[in-house]
């Protein structure tokens, strides 16, 4: 069952997103890039303001150095979030780097690798991620200029990625300047999560405020897709 991930910048947005139907609250700083990490204190504040059973994640950045990225991820894991997301750019999206990250992170949390579709990542990297101990893999975009994930990869490629994750027991996610109208075709591929920020913000500005009405529409659209109904 595909669920709705909404990226938030603080505890107020986290509460709003949860109230409007988000399934996973994702802590991220849109001012610091595609996977900008928030301060640890902010992540802890977000976590503390949510019900204990809320599924949460926080991003650790997309550093091209194994040690720095691992250190960031390990620090964020101490905040108590359910998952920590690591961006793997061109340098890091290699089996050797993935293996090195896995050794540094082993036993310290549940980590999800994020591959950037606009950097031509090897989608077969999922096997190395599984071997290294990652619990999930997502596709996103590094350049937030309105180019959507479906503009970069075909539905066949996206479907193959999701199916490959499922076969390996990895949680899967699709994100990257998605719009509400992308929900139905992407959910049909069966990812565990569809991730949103800009598409659910006022005026589509990912650095601006979340729009509660847009979050509600996205949640209803996804619920309708789950039940095979006409989207609300």
- The secondary structure of 109-177, three-state, reads CCEEEEEEHHHCCCHHHHHHHHHHCCCEEEEECCCCCCCCHHHHCCHHHHHHHHHHHHHHCCEEEECCC
| Active-site residue, 85 included | yes
Report whether 99 contacts 71 (CB < 8 A): no
Report whether 2 contacts 226 (CB < 8 A): yes
Give the three-class secondary structure for 8. Answer: strand
| Active-site residue, 28 included | yes
Query: Which residue out of 85, 197, 206, 217 is catalytically annotated?
Result: 85
Query: Which residue out of 28, 130, 197, 217 is catalytically annotated?
Result: 28
- How many other CB atoms sit within 10 Å of the CB of residue 165? 24
Residues with a catalytic annotation lie at: 28, 85
């Amino acid at each position: 069952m595909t669920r709705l991930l909404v990226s938030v910048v603080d505890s107020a947005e986290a509460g709003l997103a949860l109230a409007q139907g988000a399934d996973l609250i994702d802590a991220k700083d849109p001012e610091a890039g595609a996977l900008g990490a928030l301060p640890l204190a902010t992540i802890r504040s977000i976590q503390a303001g949510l019900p204990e059973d809320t599924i949460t994640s926080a991003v650790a950045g997309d550093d091209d150095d194994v040690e720095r990225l691992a250190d960031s991820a390990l620090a964020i894991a101490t905040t108590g979030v359910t998952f920590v997301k690591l961006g793997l750019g061109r340098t890091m999206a290699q089996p050797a780097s993935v293996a090195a990250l896995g050794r540094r992170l082993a036993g310290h949390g549940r980590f999800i690798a994020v591959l950037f579709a606009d950097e031509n990542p090897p989608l077969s990297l999922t096997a190395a991620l599984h071997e290294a101990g990652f619990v999930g893999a997502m596709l996103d975009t590094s350049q937030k200029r309105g180019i959507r994930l479906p503009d970069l990869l075909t539905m066949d490629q996206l479907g193959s990625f999701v199916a490959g994750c499922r076969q390996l027991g990895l949680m899967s996610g699709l994100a990257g300047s998605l719009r509400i109208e992308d929900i139905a075709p992407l959910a049909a591929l069966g990812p565990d999560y569809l991730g949103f920020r800009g598409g659910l913000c006022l005026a589509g500005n990912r650095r601006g405020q979340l729009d509660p009405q847009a979050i509600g529409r996205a949640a209803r659209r996804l619920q309708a897709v789950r039940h095979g109904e006409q989207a609300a």
